[in-house]
Amino acid sequence: MSAVATPSLTERAHEIRRTVLLMCRGRGQGYAGQGLGLADLFACLYFSELRASVDRFVLSTGHSAITLFAALHQQGVYELEELCTYGMDGSRIEESPLEGTPGFEITGGSLGQGLSQAVGMALGERLRGRDSRVYCLASDGELQEGQTWEACMAAGHHKLDNLVLFVDDNRMQADGATADVMNVEPVVDKLSAFGFAARRVDANSIDDVLAALDWAREQKGRPCGLVCSNLPGKGVPSFEVYAKVHYIRAPDDVWARALEELG
């Protein structure tokens, strides 16, 4: 019997995007823009970087859970049929899941709190002498929260080189462009000032993401910050240029066309 080929990271990212669209199609709405934009990053994390039962992932941006659900489907944690109940009454596939939902370390609905929890986890793992790394995804909009910078200050002070912060730099939030609501740049310079090894990453390039993760593992004595530039709606041309891509409500024919565009 011939061996089954392992999907490439590019194929994994494509399947994550397809699952994201199917999840939104079930109810006709959802955070498709974030799911599509972050697919490459999550493919690299869940199929190359994270060590099962060793490393921890903290999703501070709770509404980006759609991407994590889609990645966990690729790992066999969730069936597609259940994921298509995304956001429906009585479903555990919530738009911002609760702590204890398989694959989710924290309740991430209130933005700006996840990095504080990730810092605590990273410090705790170090105190226990464990070879664990803690990865946290926060949005660029969360950098408008003071608590996020308090967490950065603590991470830098404790030299948490087992902590990696991903900033979802998609340049948008619910009320408009991040720069118009409250500008947070220059993020790389600010993280560096708080004691992070920081760099910008093209999060829609798998090669760039893998190189950045390799670089992060080499840093010693300080936490890492990867500012992940990405395009909301990536892979679906009509969504890439849609002004309200932050949260899409659309009839079924729009989702059907998006799946065709994705290929």
CATH code of 45's domain: 3.40.50.970
Residues 6+ apart with CB under 8 A from 113: 60, 106, 147
Which pLDDT score is estimated for 4? 58
Instruction: Write down the residue that tokens 């967490």 correspond to.
Output: 151
pLDDT digits (tens, 9 = 90+) for 198-226: 999 999 999 999 999 999 999 999 999 99
Residue 235 located in a structural domain: yes
pLDDT digits (tens, 9 = 90+) for 174-184: 888 898 999 99
**Residues in the chain with pLDDT values less than 70:** 1-4
DSSP string covering 233-262 = TTT-HHHHT-TTTTSEE--HHHHHHHHHHH
Identify whether 124 is part of a domain: yes
Per-residue pLDDT of 129-146, as tens digits, reads 999 999 999 999 999 999
- Kindly state whether residue 121 falls inside one of the protein's structural domains: yes
CA atoms of 73 and 67, how far apart (whole Å): 10
pLDDT at 176: 86
Q: What pLDDT does 3 receive? A: 56
SS3 226: strand
Give domain status of residue 5, yes or no. no
DSSP 45: I
Query: What confidence score (pLDDT) does residue 107 get?
Result: 93
Identify the domain containing residue 151 by its residue range. 10-262
Prediction pTM value: 0.95
Residue 16 in any domain: the answer is yes
Task: Give the chain's domain count.
Answer: 1
Confirm if 79 and 52 have CB atoms less than 8 A apart: no
